[in-house]
Structures are given as structure tokens and as C-alpha cells.
Structure 1
Amino acid sequence: MLRWLWGFVGPYRSRLIVALIALVLTSALTLSLGQGVKLLVDEGFAAGSHEGLKDSLQIMLVLIVALALGAYFRFFMVSWIGERVVADIRKRLYGHLLTLTPSFFEDNLAGEIQSRVTTDTALLQTVIGSSLSFALRNVLIFVGGLVLMFISNLKLSLMVIAVVPLIVFPLIFIGRKVKRLSKQSQDEVASVGAWAGESLQNIKVVQAFTRESHVAEQFDQGAEQAFAVALQRIRYRAFLIALVMIMVMGAITAMLYVGGSDVISGELSAGDLSAFVFYAVMVAGSLAAVTEVYGELQRAAGAVERIRELLATQPTILDKGGETVVKDHSGSAAIELNNVSFAYPSRPDQWALQDVSLKIQAGQSTALVGPSGAGKSTLFDLLLHFREPQKGDIFINNQNIADYPLAMLRNMYALVPQNPVLFSSNVWDNIRFAKPDATDQEVIDACKAAHAYDFIMALPEQFDSFLGEQGVKLSGGQKQRIAIARAILRDPDVLLLDEATSALDAQSEFWVQQALNELMRDRTTLIIAHRLSTVRHVDQIALFDQGRITAVGNHSQLMQNSDLYKRLAELQFQGETEA
């Protein structure tokens, strides 16, 4: 763990050196108080001298002030390093997560990932900012105290040191168990947090089906499992602390008997015994403190292991693009799919797309239609290079998309998904997400084009209105129009519409369709549609069935040449006529 952390601490060596100097000085000053105690007893109490008592107390006062100043610098520097390092780890971790492909987040719970970014790093913050410094300080006091004990009295020191192996070996053995249980405890806590977040995020569904008691029971079970694991960890740590106290304090008690006998017989002065007792107590206290902090370090080691696992995850799509790709600034793009086949890793024997070939001219609008699960949404993922086909190639402007830098490729697209995605912010920020440097007027024009301006102006704070988590304060149709305004503002080369008007009422759909028709003019557009009435006037329609393209043509041609398309159209149009 410490080797891994050094990669983050290393850039702040100068502050670390100051902290270590302050750490060594405070440890030395703490131990030097023992000599002050010796002077106080021998020169003050035993000698019965007021002058000696005064001088001894003055020396101790100077030591205490110096110790306080050293503690200030030590605490400030170590805390600064802890906060800085944890902030760097969080930035590194979040930046790495942004490079992972969507498939990773489909296979891992969002709450689990958030736990590693927040809870695990918060545990590291505590350890680096205070516990580690506290442990180092006590290690120095332990070593320095032992040295001074041996200098003061060899016989008494051997008595105390005899119990150290009885403490160290259980410390190592139990520490390994604490580390394992700490990681397991963090996993359990993360699972509980993920379940809580998911159920609260979908509270309407939970309450609509009156499943509050069910989700509460699931949460209770997870919380109890986390408690059971934590209890095991606490039991080991409590046993270790008790063992250290018994061994160390028992050794000090035996030492006091032998040392007291030597004072009575005149072989040892009272001041020497007092100083030795002071060192022994400091050694015992530091060993007990290190034992306690060791448990915290093992917890941190478990957290580091979870963070390193996440950082070690490699994106399945590598940014292999180079400088050779030249972006076409014509405002449109030609797309060609050449025998593309793709299967999901969870279903390697079942093709989601199989031998798909399709040509889309620049500025041409193409609708992808067919039954659910036919592969239409998968094709969008491949175009955006969220996934790579196992066979075949995809070309944009006669260049393989694998040769494009990912940022350049995706900057060519604007996506309007079936379920619009809004962020916990205001209207300005949600629409500017497509173009951060857009002016207010550009945002307003995009909203007018998407038929969203009127309802935005009716919001309590208009464009400054906070939309809530996932736009919960808006209706489905309003959220869809915000997403369309975002796409209009993007002004892309390729427009990807995934059932973009599915959540709109008839009147809103009419106006948004007019806006989309204007946006689609002379722009390469792919439209996933289940309602064939919305795509009758596109340039071409590709009919998907079981991962294959079975027919390509316009509406009239497919009505004549494709039995499947004709059957789907008749069913839909008949239903709309009856409605």
C-alpha cells in the first residue's frame, strides 16, 4: 500500500520532508521530557530545593512549548499532504472511469463504483492525514524510548523487552485477518449503498407497486451482513488491544517491583527510576497506539486494493487514432458498413448483428426499423465506437472509424436517445452540455427550434430553473425536447435519433418533427423508429430482422418488396386509423 501511495506523495517531497523533520523533533522532545522528570525528582523533590524545583519546571516548560510548535507544523503538513493526495487519487480514479467503455458500467453497479470513489478514498484520507503520522510518531517514540531505557538501566529494560515478541507476532497474524475483513466490509457497505441508491432513484416504481417493505427488508439484510463482517473485524482488533495492554502493563508492574526494590536498597536513585518509568510508559503507550493504528492501516490497505482494482481495469476500446485522419468540414458525412458482425460478450454464440452491409450517402436520412431486439440500437453503439465489431468494418468518409481519435469521431455525432438524459443542473447547463462555449442566444435559438422555449419560459426561474436529478421536475415530453435542443445546438455531421419523438403528445410531436426536418436537411441522419408513420418520408429505410438487414429502400419500395415491412406497416397504420 505504501509503495503505491508513494506515487501520489512523491510530488510533494518538500512538504513531506518538513513534516518528517517536525515528526522527529516532536518525538525527541516528547522523550526528553523524561530527563525533565528526572531533574524534577532528584534536584527538586529529593533534594528539597525550591531553586532546583524552579529550574526543573522552567526546563520542562521550554520543552513543552517547543513540543507544541513542532506538533503544529507536523499536524498541518501531514494533514495538507493527506488532503492533497486523496484529492489527486480521486481525480485520477474519476478520470480513469471516464475512459472506460459503457459496457463496464453495464456490468458493475453505479453505487459500488461511487463507493470506491468516495468511501474508500475518504478512509485513505483519514489514514494519510492523521493515522499514518500518528503511527510514525509512535514508532519513533517506541524506538527512542527503548534506547533510552537501555541506557538508563539494562536489567529493567530486558524485563520490559521480553514481552515484545509476544505482541509482535499476534499483531502480524491478526493484522492479516483484519485486512481481509476490512476489504470484505467495504464490499458489503458498497453493496448496501448501491441498493439504497437504486431503490431511492426509482422510488415512484417502489411506491407504485407498494414494495417499500420488500426493499427495506433487502436493505436491512445487507446492512446486517455488513455489520456482521465489521463485528468480526472489531473483535480481532479489540482482542489485540487487550493483549497488548495485559502484556505491556504486566511487564511494567514487574519492572516497578524490581526497580522499587533497587531504590530501597540504594542501588538506583528515585529520579532514575522515575525517568525509566516515564520511558517505559511512553514505550507501552506508543506500542498500544501503533497496535490500534495498525488496524486502521489494514482497513486502508483493503480500500487501496479496491481502488487499485478499479484503476487496473483497462478500457475495451483503445484510442488508436492518429494524426493521419483529416476531418471533413462539409457538415455531413458518408457512412458505410461492410459485412459487420457483432455478438455481446455475455452471449458470444448469438449474433446481435450479422453480416450487415449498408451505405449512407452524405446528407442522406436513413431509418432503421424492425422488431425489438433486431440490432438497431447495437448499430448505434458501434457507430459511436462504444463497442467494436468482431467482423467487418465501419467507414466514415472512406476512413475506418478505428483510425479516428475517439474524441474526433464522437464530436461528429449528436445523439437523442429514447430515454433522454438530463443532469442535476439548470436548463442552461443541460443544453450547453453539447457546446460549452455556446452563447445565450444560441441556446435560446436551439430551444425555439426544438419547440421547448415556451415551456422553459413558464418554469419558475426560466432558464435558471433547477431540473432535479435526471430532470425529474419535467414531463417526459419536456425532457425529450431539452435533449433535442441539445442536439440542435451541437450542429453535428451525423444525427442519431433513437425514437426521438416517442414521448411527445401529438401537438408537440408535430412541432418537434418540423424542427427535426429542418435539422436533418442536408445532414446525415440515422433514425431508429418503431412507428413507421414517422419515417415514411426519409431517403431510405433499412429493415432489420434477427440481426440482419433483410431489405433496403424507401417506404413505397418496401411496401411492394418486403412482406415483413408490409405486415408491420399494415398493423401500425390500421391501429392508428382505428384510434
Structure 2
Amino acid sequence: MARGNRQDNGVRKPDMPKAKLTKENLKEALLIFSYLKPYRYTFITGLLFIALSSGTTMAFPYFLKRLIDSAHSLSLGKEAVSPGTIALWMLGILTLQMIFSFMRVYLFTYVGEYALADMRKEVYRKMIMMPMDFFAQRRVGELSSRISADLSQIQEAVTGMLAEILRGILTLIIGMGLILYLSRSLTAVMLSVVPIIVVAGVVFGKRIRKLSRNTQDQLADSNTIVQETLQGVSNVKSFTNEWYEIGRYTRSLQQVVKLAVSNGRFRGLFVSFILMSIFGTIILVVWYGTTLVQAGTLSFGDLTAFVVYTAFVGGSMAGFADLYSQLQKTLGATQRVREILRDTTEPVTVTDEPVEEKNKLLGAVTFDRVSFSYPSRKEVHILKEITLTAAPGEQIAIVGPSGAGKSTIAALLLQFYQPGNGQILFDGKPANSIPLSQLRKQMALVPQDVFLFGGTIRENISYGKPGATQPDIEEAARKANAHDFIMSFPEGYDTVVGERGIKLSGGQRQRIAIARAILKDPVILVLDEATSSLDSASESLVQEALDNLMKNRTSFVIAHRLSTIRNADKIIVLDKGHVIESGTHQELLALNDGLYKSLNKLQLEWASE
């Protein structure tokens, strides 16, 4: 379930799950530092500027003490350094602090951005090279979260959190040393309040975190209602359930408000208690300090410096609570990224080299007693001892009822999966003897549910052959019966198709996909029910484009409408994972009680109704 927290800009982002601070988790976090190695000198320089920045910060109260003591000494007629000189020193320190702080932030941002870009590239490369089974067992949202939310959390840790932790530790160590040096008795008074604040922080913190999680869960439920309603808005409107959905969302929001107000009440009590404790401590320290000043054991400058250093120490201690929470989130994010990087699934080796002469195909394909079960459902046998052959340039149609294994044959042809038994041969050579990228460069798929990228029509067609010229793209579009409708748009080939091609009709999307395949000029073509969801007018144009595409190519046509495959060289009829019939359209119709004949009869009856 998605959770969220609010950023300063009011935009919600996923609330990162936290990991416990253990030795094993800290070892996982060392992954970050392996990516810092190329920038280690810049990183070390950044650490140096952190130390310099902390030093100048902690020096400021010391010079403030000198300034006050100097003014006090001069007022008593004693010899002392001029307050103006000390003020100039303080301005110099402030200038140095400004420079050191700028360099610290700049260098850590530089290192963090470059290191995390390297990590993003490696995670993305690892994911996109994984076989299809890897994606079949994982949700797209989960994988995209690794690239976006998890790596962003790690990025924030490198660019900000790490520097803040180091600066806070230095401030705490230097500050504690200086307040002990200034007055041990005042330090004891100040530290006496710390256990009370810590205990209160633990008690209130647990309650606040629990209420925050409950609020986030309830808000996630509300967001789910919105998402489901918008995705299924046609159902909502067809059932006139707008007010039902409004009521459902309102009730969920009321729970969010109730939990959030309860959380606010506890946070208000906690903040009030902390403020009272802090200012009460300051009052106590100043009161006790004035008695020491009156007794002559502490100067007024020392008291002022002590109060300022105490504020620095208190601020550092308060900041560690949030930094600890951020560290837990970063450890969790690092664990999930590491899961991707060390996944034992063997990545697919893909190169961008042209097809070598020795690997060029003529188009002969053989399924030799192929059996297959999907890795996630090994007990379900999708294909059983399938044997079929296709000569170069032949059109092979594959038909059968739903669940017969038609689309699985397409997946095996494209080497998305490997057969459990048997083998697939291309030009008589086993598929695994040909480099996968070399094999797929000579194949093309036109699916039923065409996916178009959200860019322009030109970009989507040229996806079949990156770097193709405009004349080549237009020629492919003409052969796909797409050029005319493309030019009817005001922007022509520069028309943006929208997410998944939503701005185009089904027939237009299909013809863009066909143009993409024509541009690729494959040896082997796989058509997975490419016309099954189209109306008659669109089907006619798409079928003509498909006929152009299939010329002189070995084609495997997975067909739903049998009228589109009557001229196929061979029709394979599948049922329950077996090849039960094989032949031409006329040969299969001549079989008494044949499945193909039965399917053809049913479709003719539907068409006549």
C-alpha cells in the first residue's frame, strides 16, 4: 500500500519504508561509497570543508565572548583589545564561514549527483537487460520505484544527510568540549534536563509515529479510491454512481482528518513540552550563571558564550532524531536497490552491433518437440510436444481456442522464454547458438495491443530503425497505409501521440506499429492477433498493410478472425497445448468433425447475425 508524506512544496511523495540500524544493514549502505570512488578526491575535499565550516561556526561564540569581555574590561578602565578589532575578526570569520559553507554544499552536491547518476544507469541497465520472466514476477510500479524513490532517497543521503551528520557530530563534540571548558558546574545543570527530554521524546515519538502511519495508510486508501474511480470512470457513469463514489471518498477523507487532528494534538503537546524544557533550561542556566558571575567565578562573556554553545549543542542533538530517521530510510532504500543489483537471474546479453554475415537468417523455423511451462506456473503445461516447420517466406497461421498456447508460441519465437523440453531451430541452427540480439534484430512483432511511446509519430515509426531518414520513414508509412492519415494532422509526422498512443484510434495505432515493423525490414515476422479488435473499415486497411508487410518474409500469424488467414501456406490448429490439425484452409475444412471447421462455422454464423 502506498504511503505518503508532504514536502515543502506541498507535493506528496511516497513515504520510504525504514530499515533497522544493524551491522548487516550498515554493510549494505557501503554500496553508496563504492559509487563515490571515482569522485573520492572531491568527496575528501568536501569533508575538509565540513570541518572548516564547523570550526568557524564554533569559533563565533568564542569571539563573541572576547567582544563582551573586552567591552567590560574597557568600561572598568582595564587594558584590552579594541572591540572594533574583535568585530573585524568576527566579520572575517563570517566571510570564511560563508565560503566554507558554499564549498561544502557545492562539492557534496557535485559528488552526490554524479555518483547517483552512475548508480541509476547501472540499476536501469541491469533491469532492462533482465529476461521476461524477471518482469513477469514483479510489478512495474515496484521496479520504477527503485529508479525513482529509492535512488532519490540515497541521493538525498549523499548530498545532504551525510554532510549534516558529520557537521552535527563535529558541532556536538567541539561544543561539549567548550562548555565543559567554560564551566563544569553549568554543564552539569544543562545536562540534568537531557534525560527528561529524551524520555519524553521516546514516549511521544512512538505515539506520533503510529498515528502518522495510520494517517498515511488512510490517505493511501483515499488515493486508491480516486485512482480506481478515474480508471473506471466509464463504469461509474454508466451505473450513475457518481454520488456513491463521492460518498465513499468523503467517508475515507473524514477518517484521514480525524487521525490527522489526533496526531496534531500529540505533536502540539510534544512541541509545547520541548519548548518549555528548552527555555526552562536556558532560564535555569542563565539564573545559575548569573550567580556564578556575581561570585566572580565566571565572566559575563563566558556566560554568553556558554548559552550560545548550549544552543548549538541542543540544536545538534535535536537534529539527530530526524537524521536517524533519514538514515533508516536510506538503509531501506539501499537494501531494495541492492536486491536488484545482486539478483541472481542471469541478465540477457544484448549488443547494438549490426547483424554479422554468419548470423544472417533465411527464415526457416522449426519447433522440434517443444514443451513449455511458465516459470511462475511450472505445474501448468502450456505447450506439449509441439512440432512445426516454416520454410523461408512461408506464412504460418496459428489458430485455436483461448488458452491453447498461441501467444506462447510467439513468446518462444522471440526468445522471451526458453523451452522446457525440445528446441527451436532457425535455419537448422539451435536458437541458443545465435546471439540473442543478432536474432531479434531480424525479427519483428506486431501485437494486438499496440504500445506507442508518448512522443511523435516519427519517433514511434523510427523505433524500428533508429537513425532512419525521413524518406525511409514515409515510405514505410505508405506501405502501412498510414501516410495519408498522418499528413491529415496539422503537425504531420511531428504529431505527439500521447501516452500509449491515446490520441490515435486503434486502427491508426496498428498501422503505426506495422510501419515500424516495415522499417525494421525483418526476416521473420510475428503477428499476434493484430486485427482482432478492429472494426471492419479499419481491419481492411490494416489487413492490406499486413499483406504488404508479410511479402517475402517468414510470417507467423496468430489469428482470431479466420477470414484473415485463408491464404496462409499452412494453418496450425492448437488445442490444450497440442497441435491437433495442420494444413491449408481448404484441407482443414475437408476434415470431418475438425476443430478448425467448427471454429470457422461458428464465426460465419456470428457474421451473419
Whichever residue aligns with residue 37 of structure 2, its letter is G
1:302 alignment partner in structure 2: 332
Q: Distance in 2 between matches of 1:240 and 1:395?
A: 71
Gaps of 5+ in 2: 1-25
**Compared with structure 1, are the counterparts of its residues 329 and 293 closer, same or farther at alpha carbon in structure 2 (3 Å cutoff)?**
closer
Whichever residue aligns with residue 484 of structure 1, its letter is I
Q: Distance in 2 between matches of 1:207 and 1:552?
A: 47
1:366 alignment partner in structure 2: 396
1:244/1:288 contact within 8 Å kept: no
SS at match of 1:151: helix
1:57 alignment partner in structure 2: 87
1:528 CA displacement? 0.2
Q: Distance in 2 between matches of 1:383 and 1:104?
A: 18
**Compared with structure 1, are the counterparts of its residues 119 and 187 closer, same or farther at alpha carbon in structure 2 (3 Å cutoff)?**
farther
1:132-155 C-alpha deviation (Å, 9 max, x unpaired): 322321221111111222333333
1:565 alignment partner in structure 2: 596
1:348 CA displacement? 3.1
Whichever residue aligns with residue 432 of structure 2, its letter is A
1:30 alignment partner in structure 2: 57
SS at match of 2:588: helix
Whichever residue aligns with residue 284 of structure 1, its letter is G
1:409 alignment partner in structure 2: 439
Counterpart among 355, 367, 382 of residue 337 in structure 1 = 367
Asked if 1:9 corresponds to 2:36, the answer is: yes
Q: Distance in 1 between matches of 2:384 and 2:506?
A: 34
**Percent identity among equivalent residues?**
35
1:411 CA displacement? 1.6
Q: Distance in 2 between matches of 1:224 and 1:117?
A: 34
Pairwise mapping of residues 430-579 of structure 1 onto structure 2 (< 5 A)?
430-561=460-591, 563-576=594-607, 578=608
1:330-376 C-alpha deviation (Å, 9 max, x unpaired): 55322221222222345433211112121222222110001111100
Q: Distance in 1 between matches of 2:212 and 2:119?
A: 20
Q: Distance in 1 between matches of 2:344 and 2:241?
A: 38
Q: Distance in 1 between matches of 2:174 and 2:473?
A: 68
1:40 alignment partner in structure 2: 67
Whichever residue aligns with residue 114 of structure 2, its letter is R
Counterpart among 89, 104, 107 of residue 74 in structure 1 = 104
2:322 alignment partner in structure 1: 292
1:178 CA displacement? 9.9
1:179/1:302 contact within 8 Å kept: no
Whichever residue aligns with residue 42 of structure 1, its letter is D
Asked if 1:427 corresponds to 2:457, the answer is: yes
Q: Distance in 1 between matches of 2:271 and 2:299?
A: 33
SS at match of 2:437: helix
1:319 CA displacement? 4.3
Q: Distance in 2 between matches of 1:452 and 1:564?
A: 36
1:141-194 C-alpha deviation (Å, 9 max, x unpaired): 111111222333333334445666777799899999999999999999889878
Gaps of 5+ in 1: none
**Compared with structure 1, are the counterparts of its residues 410 and 176 closer, same or farther at alpha carbon in structure 2 (3 Å cutoff)?**
farther
Pairwise mapping of residues 83-122 of structure 1 onto structure 2 (< 5 A)?
83-122=113-152
**Compared with structure 1, are the counterparts of its residues 231 and 108 closer, same or farther at alpha carbon in structure 2 (3 Å cutoff)?**
farther
1:103-133 C-alpha deviation (Å, 9 max, x unpaired): 4444444344434433343344444333332
2:10 alignment partner in structure 1: none
Q: Distance in 1 between matches of 2:258 and 2:521?
A: 55
Pairwise mapping of residues 103-502 of structure 1 onto structure 2 (< 5 A)?
103-161=133-191, 200=230, 203-204=233-234, 207-208=237-238, 210=240, 253-315=283-345, 318-319=348-349, 332-502=362-532
Q: Which moved more, 1:435-444 or 1:103-112?
A: 103-112
Q: Distance in 2 between matches of 1:178 and 1:4?
A: 32
1:179/1:299 contact within 8 Å kept: no
What's the TM-score once normalised by structure 1's chain length? 0.86
1:449-474 C-alpha deviation (Å, 9 max, x unpaired): 01111111111211111111111111
1:477 CA displacement? 0.9
Q: Which moved more, 1:500-509 or 1:407-416?
A: 500-509
**Compared with structure 1, are the counterparts of its residues 542 and 422 closer, same or farther at alpha carbon in structure 2 (3 Å cutoff)?**
same
**Compared with structure 1, are the counterparts of its residues 420 and 115 closer, same or farther at alpha carbon in structure 2 (3 Å cutoff)?**
same
**Compared with structure 1, are the counterparts of its residues 331 and 229 closer, same or farther at alpha carbon in structure 2 (3 Å cutoff)?**
farther
Q: Distance in 2 between matches of 1:192 and 1:391?
A: 48
1:300-320 C-alpha deviation (Å, 9 max, x unpaired): 333334444444545476549
Whichever residue aligns with residue 406 of structure 1, its letter is L
Q: Which moved more, 1:399-408 or 1:564-573?
A: 399-408
Whichever residue aligns with residue 292 of structure 1, its letter is D
Q: Which moved more, 1:178-187 or 1:483-492?
A: 178-187
Asked if 1:20 corresponds to 2:47, the answer is: yes
1:455-506 C-alpha deviation (Å, 9 max, x unpaired): 1111121111111111111111111111111111111111000122334444
Whichever residue aligns with residue 348 of structure 1, its letter is K
1:360-413 C-alpha deviation (Å, 9 max, x unpaired): 222221100011111000111122222233222222223332344332232221
Q: Which moved more, 1:443-452 or 1:8-17?
A: 8-17
Q: Which moved more, 1:196-205 or 1:369-378?
A: 196-205
Q: Distance in 1 between matches of 2:376 and 2:258?
A: 34
1:426 CA displacement? 0.9
